[in-house]
Amino acid sequence: MLWLSTFVLVLVQLSAAKPLAGKRWDDVAVKHAWVEPPRGWELHSTPPEDHLFDMRIALKQNKLDELISSLFEVSDPTHARYGKHLSKEEVDALVAPHPDSVEAVEAWLEHHGINPADAEFRSAGGEWITIRVSIAQAERMLNTKYGVYHHAASDSYVVRTMEYSLPAELHSHVDVVTPTTYFSTLRSMRATSFVLPQTSSLVGDAESFAADISPLAVPASCGSTVTPACLRAMYNTTSYVPKATATNKLGVAGYLAEFANDADLQTFFQKFRTDAVGGTFSHVQVNGGQNSQTNPGIEANLDIQYTEAISFPTPNIYYSTGGSPPFNQDSNTPTNTNEPYLDWLNFILNQTTIPQTFTTSYGDDEQTVPQDYATTVCNMFAQLGARGSSIMFSSGDSGVGGGDCLTNDGTNRKIFQPAFPASCPFVTTVGGTTRVPEVAVSFSGGGFSRYFAQPSYQAASVAPFLKNLGTKFSGLFNATGRAYPDVSAAANGFQVVIGGRTTSVGGTSASSPTVAGVVALLNDFLISEGKPPLGFLNPLIYSTAKTGFNDITSGSNPGCGQTGFTAGAGWDPVTGLGTPDFLRLQALVG
């Protein structure tokens, strides 16, 4: 009996000294799985076992609830903490993982022969760890098999898996591991702009046209041929001159191997805003982003030309975020994971000083993004908002859904298809309008998330719409989900200079930079008055600033073989709260 007691005591002491020594890493459970390859993808081949790539591990954030509570408090105009945004250090402290999570993940890495000290990257808060692994290592760690998948429409090849698993005890410590089941690539990611046929000869006489526009009389031609003068008049920014240009900045996030062209911006200014000639913007290249100044992108030029056109002389920054080269079956060269939001967000969150306003014109069908991945990325946008940045996203150009709208869960049901990141509750999503007076444009993306619950800030505004809708479209959308868009702006006939020539471009990717330009001016006004910037907009615009928008009451957004939602009085999932009126908003936020 004495011998047994001594033996038990020794075991207890050993367990206390090495709490992780007895963990069973082979007790695994599925983290995420697809029932079939996402639509458009097919298995092509098996990657070499020694193919190297960067695996990213997102550890659960110990004080995420506190971060989100802080975000809402500093963004609520009725709260005592309104405008008291968090510093980078304060945010980093809130997103840091619990020491137990760090210990568990590092022990798991060591079990697989990986020294945590050799990590390629650790975020400032410690919630992201990037390690370089081979296919063979990753398959052992995640109890899976990787394949090379081909996307015929874009001729893209990526290394992904249909499912992955983690040891059961790691599920409470890890949010997501990538690259695994998120199949979207930079090539198949949808930029929402598209080229339109020229509808007017107005472009050749832009200077005289601009002189004829006043805020009190916007010509109907602005509904089909949109210039900076049109937008400045429509949204009441013409008379405002920015003052806080030493502090206030506007950031444009770009992907798809696109960059904005300096010469085209000058040509654009010469045609459409002569007082801005000579104005420039900063280029920041992230993760191998391009900036060769040859063959500029339609989306990139659209974004920077219209943020500049409205916010000038506010400093603008274009972030060109790169993606990996096409997968080479014979290559042993490490590649990145080709998951752009993570690349850009990890970069921007690591900066000490960040722009007060951002716009992004890219997105995917929500159902094509694994929910754990979408949630992790959405929470990263919350970090930006907590630090005082306003983040605009295009709502998409497929109405309530594009394509066949079939679910990818094996049931092949036809339902409305929300978009992500438009459906994230921590961004401000921008829909589209057309014509003068404005009506909803038919392609304006809008609807209700199936991943994210309806946030409290919009409940009172969304309820009347749902009540009036009644049982129409019952079962086709999630009435309790985060509703979008939040606001809207013109989306048709934007005059964009590409390669020296003026082209007509449409899409809600024109709407997002337009609203971002207006928001940047509001931030300029506040900063020049010694006040903090707006930060996360939604709690403000759904409450005390609600009357600062022009309500759009006609038009609809068909899709999925259905007529789609209809714009009406108040908020609607076609145009949101409406289009911005800078002067009204200036009075409301001041």
214 is catalytic: no
pLDDT band at residue 151 using 50, 70 and 90 as cut-offs: confident
What local confidence, expressed as pLDDT, does residue 255 receive? 84
- Going by C-alpha positions, the residue among 566, 8, 522, 525 that lies closest to residue 235 is 522
Q: Is 361 a catalytic residue?
A: no
Residues of the chain with CATH 3.40.50.200: 190-198+226-321+356-589
Mean pLDDT of 391-402: 96
Distance in angstroms (rounded) separating the CA atoms of residues 211 and 285? 37
Q: Which residue has the higher pLDDT, 202 or 464?
A: 464
- Helices 298-311 and 262-272: crossing angle, nearest 10°? 50
Angle CA 114–322–536, to nearest 5? 95
In sequence order, what are the residues at sequence separation of 6 or more whose Cβ sits closer than 8 angstroms to the Cβ of residue 197? 504
Annotated active-site residue in 175, 299, 308, 365: 299
Secondary structure letter of residue 48 according to DSSP = P
Taking only the tens place, the pLDDT of each residue in 474-519 is: 999 999 999 999 999 999 999 999 999 999 999 999 999 999 999 9
Quote the CA–CA distance of 399 and 396 in Å, as a whole number: 7
pLDDT at residue 199 greater than cutoff 50: no
Task: Identify the CA nearest to 532 among candidates 214, 110, 4, 77.
Answer: 77
**303 is annotated as an active-site residue:** yes
Lowest mean pLDDT among 17-31, 259-273, 468-482: 17-31
Q: Please check if 364 is assigned to a binding site.
A: no
For the chain, the average pLDDT equals: 90
pLDDT confidence bin for 23, thresholds 50/70/90: low
What's the rounded Cα separation, in Å, for the pair 519 and 154? 35
Give the per-residue pLDDT at 208: 39
pLDDT value of residue 11:
41
- From 259, 590, 252, 219, select the one nearest 436 (Cα to Cα): 219
Say if CB 323 and CB 344 are below 8 A apart: no
- What topology is assigned to 190-198+226-321+356-589 in CATH? Rossmann fold (3.40.50)
The proportion of the chain whose per-residue pLDDT surpasses 70, expressed as a percent, equals: 89
State yes or no: 552 annotated in a binding site. yes
507, two tokens: 């899409």
The confidence score (pLDDT) of residue 190 equals 64
CB of 318 closer than 8 Å to CB of 299 = no
Sign of CA dihedral 368, 354, 548, 274: negative
Three-state SS string over 332-389 comes to CCCECCCCHHHHHHHHHHCCCCCCCEEEECEEEEHHHCCHHHHHHHHHHHHHHHHCCC
Asked whether residue 24 carries a pLDDT value surpassing 90, the answer given is no
Task: Identify whether 313 is preceded by a cis peptide bond (ω within 30 of 0).
Answer: yes
What values do phi and psi take at 45, rounded to 5?
A: -165, 180
Residue 18: pLDDT band (50, 70, 90) is very low
- Angle 165-169-175 from CA coordinates, rounded to 5°: 60
| Over residues 32-41, mean pLDDT | 92
Mean pLDDT of 560-569: 98
Is 343 a known ligand-binding residue? no
* 570 in a labelled binding site: yes
Catalytic hit among 127, 264, 303, 366: 303
Mean pLDDT over 358-366 rounds to 93
Backbone angles phi, psi at 43, to 5 degrees: -65, 130
Please write the tens of the pLDDT for every residue from 290-317: 898 988 889 999 999 999 999 999 999 9
CA 578 to chain centre: 21
Q: What is the full DSSP assignment across 478-503?
A: -TTEEEE-SEEEE-S-EEEEETTEEE
Residue type, 589: V
Q: Looking at 70, 311, 509, 556, which residue is catalytic? A: 509
Q: What is the mean pLDDT of residues 372-379?
A: 96
Residue among 335, 329, 305 nearest 318 (CA): 305
